[in-house]
Amino acid sequence: GAVVSQHPSWVICKSGTSVKIECRSLDFQATTMFWYRQFPKQSLMLMATSNEGSKATYEQGVEKDKFLINHASLTLSTLTVTSAHPEDSSFYICSARGRLGVIANTGELFFGEGSRLTVL
Amino acid sequence: AQSVTQPDIHITVSEGASLELRCNYSYGATPYLFWYVQSPGQGLQLLLKYFSGDTLVQGIKGFEAEFKRSQSSFNLRKPSVHWSDAAEYFCAVAGNTGFQKLVFGTGTRLLVSP
């Protein structure tokens, strides 16, 4: 199956700093990537949808200036948490969908391993 | 908009016993339905999915799920649980027009007792 890799898998940072999380599709071209946030013992909440070469679409209540998403290539999307605060500590998961006619036809999304952010 | 309900937060099953995890969805038409499993600190792995056709869907690791339109349900089952099945299970739904984003249920944590 298709592989999606996230990096880093965990990161600790000081309050006020910015953190970048990468999401890469290793063996397919991901035209669409989704970023989710998961609080402890809770479900995944969709933050935003990013399409390659265009601006991300954010879900209601998600601050686009706080969570910067860039999908500059067909294999890479990045999530930057700007001026991080302790309340931003969470598990961030990306998922990717390939080009129509390849993987997307199955309707399956492939998920990364997740990135745990802890803001001190 | 679609929504998913997983009424059981925790379920404990003895190893070797059968398992059923409940999932109910809300959507105006027939949705795309999924079950994912998440081990602690890990991403999600797809167990199975339903798009159309046979309402009984077979997945990986011996899991199956049945789509029941009349009950708006998509319950996950396994005839004999193994200790390695202990994990968090998420039911998810996507609309069947263009397949954009998944909406997840709150998850059910499965504990397997010896």
Q: Which of B43, B46, B105 sits opposite A113 (nearest CB)?
A: B43
Chain A interface with B: residues with Cβ < 8 Å: 4, 6, 34, 41-46, 49, 91, 93, 95, 97, 104, 106-109, 111-114, 116
Highest mean pLDDT among B48-52, B86-90, B97-101: B86-90
The per-residue pLDDT for range B11-41, each reduced to its tens digit, is 999 999 999 999 999 987 778 899 999 988 7
- Check whether the bond before B7 is cis (ω within 30° of 0): no
Q: Which residues on adjacent β-strands are paired with residue A73? A: A76
Residue A106 to residue A115: CA distance in whole angstroms: 26
pLDDT number for residue A99:
64
Could you report the per-residue pLDDT of A19-69, keeping only the tens digit for each? 999 999 988 888 889 999 988 778 889 999 988 888 899 999 999 999 999
Quick one: DSSP state of residue A97?
E
